[in-house]
Chains A and B, each alone.
Chain A
């Protein structure tokens, strides 16, 4: 298995190295990545100071409302968004659907999100992300899930939350799970790390790396339910490196203003006066869904293994 953050020996120009992939994710730290479904929305996101956009056919709230099988977006939409903005463009493939990932890489997307928001294509295997030059981000609910994705080649992770709800409670649960589990293995003795690896169902080498360095080997963003500037500040204070905002912006009353406000709150997450200022008169937030009204079978976070 490849070690995290130790680049291969490189003497000539080499693309797709682990350092090039994880380093790109590092460049987005402290920033906001916004879901967009049209070139116009992408430009609003870029103007608001997003560090990247996620090109989609539907935002998670609409995927939830429409039901049925959710797939990779039409390449026409992805290309139109790529052509509309100068910032990086991400796109989602289904869990395990490496052919969709191949298509997205060929379109020139800068990052692929192997996402539980879409209907999984494989109930046992995720994409072998080492086979791609383009970097991947994957969802996680806890440390073991994060490390399994990193072992498969993910260059970035994001806690899942519950997409399309506008309810931050699951995002909080998952971020706390990851940070608490990192803290709990940080003090373990060598022989205990083998047991911890077994319990976390994650490769020993990665578990030992996390225990030693007291952090994940890749950038970890928060996702799934962030709808307000204060939500973004909450997640940043809980230890994430940045935030994904899905339905929260373009399902709200004044998307441009809310997008700018969430960017400012993410940068100044410890400055309550700034968060108070940007939270004023944002118009209507997305309505939101209470988690206990969603049957477990319809919870997107349960997808992925």
Chain B
């Protein structure tokens, strides 16, 4: 998706894959499975180190869970990256039968509402004073920005709408989007 916006991309499985990255997208998936593989390959420390050097991060759904400083309902060994001043609750909207899509305003995305697909989505329970709310659903935040971090509870990658990714590239990574 960011490729269509002119960014060059690389799949990240190991720390060395991060070498040339200005930004990292942690997509949806099972946060427990992603966390196990991240721990196994030493990606926790590598991501934290690259972020400290300026690498921007964008987490959707499971990725947003991993960016948080605290996970409610985590397994004992499920540790977040602890980069963003938010507390997040896993599977907070219920099981798959409760998964839904809707249209939501998104601050920073021009041209009206974005289509938001929530799949066994997490919920932001608490967020710090420096965290900016970009989008809400029924009054609750579903997209949050803190410095070089962007966390979204839904899946912009499941639509053909590139505006949330464009927001990440332009405003969080800070690159020119063609």
Contacts and interface: CB of A to CB of B under 8 A. Distances in A.
B115 A10 contact: yes
Given A11-B103, A15-B97, A46-B75, A23 B33 contact: no
Contact of A31 (B29, B96, B97, B117): B29
A133 B99 CA distance: 9
Contact of B36 (A24, A49, A105, A134): A49
B91 A28 contact: no
A250 interface: no
A75 interface: no
Contact of B158 (A14, A16, A26, A30): A26
A264 B101 CA distance: 32
A263 B34 CA distance: 11
B155 interface: yes
A23 B30 contact: no
A7 B158 CA distance: 10
A134 B33 contact: no
Interface residues of B, number: 31
A16 B40 CA distance: 35
Nearest to B155: A23
Nearest to A17: B101
Interface in B73-122: 73, 75, 90-91, 95-103, 115, 117, 119-120
A253 interface: no
Interface in A84-117: 86-88, 105, 108-111
A15 B36 contact: no
A268 B13 contact: yes
Contact of A51 (B33, B98, B103): B33
Contacts of B159: 7, 19
Given A27-B61, A27-B62, 18 more contacts: A11-B102, A11-B103, A12-B102, A14-B101, A15-B99, A17-B100, A20-B99, A20-B119, A24-B120, A28-B30, A31-B29, A31-B33, A51-B30, A52-B30, A86-B32, A88-B96, A135-B96, A267-B13
Interface of B: 13, 28-30, 32-33, 36-37, 40, 61-62, 73, 75, 90-91, 95-103, 115, 117, 119-120, 155, 158-159
